[in-house]
Amino acid sequence: MQKKRNLSMLEQVSRSPHKSRHKTREVVVGGIAIGGDNPIRVQSMTTTDTFDVAATVAQIHRLEEAGCELVRVTVPKAQDAAVLSEIKKSIKIPLICDIHFDYKMALAALDHPVDKIRINPGNIGGNDRFRQVVRKAKERGLPMRIGVNAGSLEKELVEKYGFPCPPAMVESAIRYIEIAESEGYHDMIISLKSSDVPTAVEAYRLYAQLADYPTHIGITEAGKPPYAVTKSAAGLAPILLDGIGDTIRISLLGDPVPEIAAGFDILQATQRRVRKPELIACPTCGRLAIDLEKIIADLEKRLEGKKTPVKISVLGCVVNGPGEAREADIGIAAGNGKGVIFRNGEIVRHVLEHEMVDALLEEVQLWEQTHASNTTDSRKDSIKKHSLPMLTTP
């Protein structure tokens, strides 16, 4: 006999699975606020020798053009620290210096007009050296990222937990947070990175239960694209969907510029930061009865550069198309050379295939006029109750 399941619990759960952001304090980096209700910032790191000022600045300019909001440079040698002032005055976005092993380089970097310092306390030789860096950062009024990495945890924590697991990483982070707090220092951003996706996800989840300092999230050593982008998305999506994360870096082998688009795409897909139209298109199958690839290509080209946070659904399927087109802000269900355009779930017009791109762009223009303020609240108000909210931020 077939078992009858009790579905009454479904009526009690939220109809939108979207979770609110993990509430963190604000930390200001070079005039850009991280944490709180601020947008999740996308950052990257240069691959040049930092002391090569021309090459480093040129790469940062390319990152700026791609939309990078903060940039990090490595400072392993005195000659790298010596050029930080020159780099800083040549760029527009906040400059972060990255320190490994040598705490003296951290102290040297803090003599220059940088905007933040990133340090892994576990590999600089002890708590006393960490305290020296904290005191100087406090004296300068500069924030710090405490970067815990599964690959460089303190020996005693690895022995305590058996291997670099999420609890060990979080204990390491809390240890250094408390040391910094004992010095009266609170301008901290925390990262708990691992190249292992489940480890990173669980580490950030555990951390969010224990502290409210903003988090820098990423999957370290992700490797070469395109797999590295897939791996980063697989690791960061659960973290972001849980409401965790205040700044993000996608670590890719090679040119850092593609990291920026990947970061914004992951934020867009998780609806944590929507900055452009989202195109929804059905997969190619035997039911397809219009040239969907051409329509999407034309739309992408003509929507390039637009910041409108609108969902546009283009479906060439007579089976699922009408129902799914209704779920978008603007949708079209088409087949056999013609289609029906939906606006907020309602049919507004019929068009022929050669008219579809122009018609959809006209609808986008109308949507922009209707939602001219382009704020998070107005965007939410325009969405039907059964739809997911898109968090729109600059």
Q: Are 247 and 33 in contact (CB under 8 A)?
A: no
Alpha carbon separation from 69 to 54, 189, 251, 294, 394 (Å, rounded): 20, 16, 15, 33, 11
Q: Find out if CATH 3.60.9.10 is the number for domain 278-381.
A: no
Same fold, 27-269 and 278-381: no
The CATH number of 27-269 is 3.20.20.20
Query: Which among 298, 304, 366, 360 has a CA at the least distance from the CA of 333?
Result: 360
Query: 192 with 164: CB under 8 angstroms?
Result: no
Report yes or no: 361 and 302 within 8 Å, Cβ to Cβ: yes
Residue where the block lists tokens 């355009």:
341
Between the alpha carbon of residue 109 and those of residues 128, 189, 195, 317, the distances in Å are 18, 18, 28, 59
CA distance 331 to 312: 5
Q: Let me know: does 73 contact 95? Beta carbons within 8 Å.
A: yes
pLDDT digits (tens, 9 = 90+) for 129-178: 999 999 999 999 999 999 998 888 888 999 999 999 999 999 999 999 99
Q: What pLDDT sits at residue 3?
A: 83
Residues of the chain with pLDDT under 50: 375-393
What's the half-sphere exposure (Cβ side, CA atoms, 13 Å) at 36?
Answer: 9
E strand or H helix at 211, and its extent?
none
- The string of pLDDT tens digits covering residues 58-92 is 999 999 999 999 999 999 999 999 999 999 999 99
Look at residue 284 in the predicted model and tell me its pLDDT: 65
**Domain chopping of the chain, boundaries:** 27-269, 278-381
Q: What is the DSSP letter of 158?
A: H
